[in-house]
Structure 1
C-alpha cells in the first residue's frame, strides 16, 4: 500500500482518494491508452468530442498506483473544453497536482501519452 504522506500533496491525495470522472464511457468518440511496463501502471482516457474536436466530456480508468489515479483524475478536469489535438503538458499536470514524488512522475507521461494516442486516432 502507498504511504500517501510521503511526498504527495493534499491535492494529489484528494484526487486519489476521491477521483473525478472515473469509468469507461460507452458513448466515447475516441479512447486513448498508455502503460508503463516498468511500474505496471496503465491509463485509459475516454473522450466525447463535439463537431470541432473540443472535449465535451472525458472519463478515465487507471490501474497500478496512486499517482496514476490522481493524474488521470486531474487530467479530466483540465482537458474538458480543450481541443484534443492541443494535448496537455506534464508541467500543467504537475502544477494542477502540486507535484508528485520523484519516483511517481511517470504518471504525467501516462496521461500525455494517452492523450496523444487518442488524438492520433481522430480522423
Structure 2
C-alpha cells in the first residue's frame, strides 16, 4: 500500500530541517524535509507539523519512507529520536531480511533532518547526541 500510494512525497520549501541518508551498496537514497512548531530547542515540546520526502530506491525504500513519514507526524522530536528501524518495519508488517537496511535509511534520514534543524537554531551540542546517518552513508 505505501509503495503503490506513498504519502507525503515532495519537498517543503524553506523547511526547518533537511536530512539525507543513502546506502552506497544498493544505491538507495532518502531525503526528508521537516517543519516544526514551536521553534525551540526543547525536544519534549517541538513537534513535526509537516513532513515530506523524496526517495530514490526500491519498492521497500519508498514504502519505508512513506510509512516513517506517517509515523512521526505530530510527534515530538524526543519521541522521534527513539524510533527504531524495527518500529518502521513492524508497521509495514515486516520487511524481507535483505531489505531491512531500507528501514535504517528512513529512520536515519529523519534523524538527520532533526539534527539539521537543531544546528540551524545553534544547538550543535544537541544535534551531536542524535545518531543519524553513519558518515559513510551520509550524503
- Same structural fold, with TM-score higher than 0.5 when normalized by the shorter chain: yes
Q: Secondary structure at the match of 2:51?
A: strand
Provide the rounded CA distance (Å) in 2 between the counterparts of 1:83 and 1:19.
Answer: 23
Q: Which runs of 5+ in 1 are unaligned?
A: 1-13
Shift of 1:85: 4.0
Shift of 1:57: 0.9
Q: Which residue is 1:79 aligned to?
A: 72
Q: Does 1:45 align with 2:24?
A: no
User: With structure 1 as the length reference, what TM-score do the two structures score?
Assistant: 0.84
Q: How many residues align?
A: 110
Q: Secondary structure at the match of 1:103?
A: helix
Q: Does 1:96 align with 2:91?
A: yes
Provide the rounded CA distance (Å) in 2 between the counterparts of 1:48 and 1:104.
Answer: 28
Q: Which runs of 5+ in 2 are unaligned?
A: 39-44, 122-139
- Whether contact under 8 Å (1:75, 1:93) holds in the other structure is yes
